[in-house]
Amino acid sequence: MRSIGEMARDSGLGVSALRFYDRAGVLVPAWVDPVSGYRWYGTEQLEEARLLTRLRRAGMPLADIRLVLAGWSGADTDLVLKLLEAHLRRLELGLSDARTEFSTIRALLEHRENPMTSLRATAVRPSVPAAELAAALDAVRFAASTDPELPMLGGVLFDIEGDALRVVATDRYRMAVAHVGTTGGAGPRVQAIVPSPLVDAMRALLDDDASVELTVDGDRVAMETGGRQVAGRSLEHEFPDYRRLVRLPAGRRVLVDVPGFREAVETGPVRAGEVREPGGVACDLTVLKVTADGAVAVCEDGDEDQDQDRVAVNREFLLHALAAGGRDELVLELGAPTAPVAIRRTDTEETFSLLMPVRLES
């Protein structure tokens, strides 16, 4: 007999997924301890669990998965093949429909005015304190994308408007925003996506309290401080409307002691590799909840199924956001399990990070 932990490790399904498929009657354990409720699986069920893992990745509906497993265990090859072929046809038809819709959307985009064009046409030269710009870049740099398929996210947005500079980075799964006050830059709103290597070169020069002069002129971005300058071209793409993306429904705000909370996240239970990011990259999940006394806690093994308000996030991303917050105390804002988790500073609403939640069950 295999324990549920061993079955999760060897099949790639994860403990939570195995519990879910047990409740759904898809993969029922061979024996359940009547006292502890612990699940045990027969040796022959490992092959079914691995098959289930592949069917889940292929997006097969649960009802069809149940029939495939039944046919598999009964050696009904014809039934299994017919179900697989039917699902493949559905996927092909769905892809064809998606291509048609995307072609229509591209045509609409080609005929639509680009409201961002004017945000790159005007030259601005604001001045900012070096220490504040360094802190802002440190707060957002971790969230910049490295996905070559999304080049518009491969840098940090510099959004200059009036006497404010906002720097923004996102890789779709997380977003970070920071605010810096400026002088001498009042005028029309101007935006530029600064490539990550140029951002890093800028950050390397910000080592004192001198004033920094930024220049955004068309596709050229430059920074000068202490007689030293670094410059380069901005990315020739448009950044998503981050102001719309950060409008979140109100959640429960909890003040956390960052060192203690970080230790709880680093040493607490995780769901190792249970959920896979797009591209097949496994991530460890930390499951959070707000306790009855108003604190944020890491869910222990076994208590997650009883708490419907738990939120799962990529543990590595959470640790990055806590480090980027740069404070011993931060505010965590948790809403619904499907809403982003916000990590905010206590001294300003203008600098914060957002982490997209990860769905726990298939």
With respect to residue 105, please indicate whether it lies within any of the assigned structural domains.
no
CATH of the domain at 33: 1.10.1660.10
Domain shared by 83 and 151, yes or no: no
Q: What pTM, to 2 d.p., does this model score?
A: 0.75
Q: How far apart are CA 301 and CA 299, in angstroms?
A: 7
Confidence (pLDDT) at 62:
87
For the chain (362 residues), the mean pLDDT of every run of 10, in chain order, is: 90 86 89 90 91 90 89 84 93 91 84 56 85 94 92 93 93 94 81 95 87 91 91 90 84 92 90 53 81 86 59 92 93 88 91 88 50
CATH of the domain at 304: 3.10.150.10
Residue-range definition of the domain harbouring residue 134: 117-239
Cα–Cα nearest to 191, from 223, 156, 153, 160: 160
- Torsion from C-alpha of 244, 250, 252, 258, nearest 10 degrees: 30
With respect to residue 125, please indicate whether it lies within any of the assigned structural domains.
yes
Domain shared by 299 and 349, yes or no: yes
Give the chain's domain count: 3
Domain shared by 222 and 325, yes or no: no
φ/ψ (deg, to 5) at 65: -60, -40
Domain shared by 151 and 64, yes or no: no
Strands of the sheet with 2-3, listed across from one edge: 2-3, 39-41, 31-32
Confidence (pLDDT) at 282:
65
| 331 contacts 343 by C-beta, under 8 angstroms | yes
With respect to residue 94, please indicate whether it lies within any of the assigned structural domains.
no
Confidence (pLDDT) at 358:
84
DSSP string, 341-355: EEEEESS-SSSEEEE
Strands (E), 182-251: 190-195, 211-217, 220-225, 228-233
Domain shared by 135 and 214, yes or no: yes
Q: What is the CA radius of gyration of the chain?
A: 25
Domain boundary among the residues 214, 239, 264 is at: 239
| 177 contacts 340 by C-beta, under 8 angstroms | no
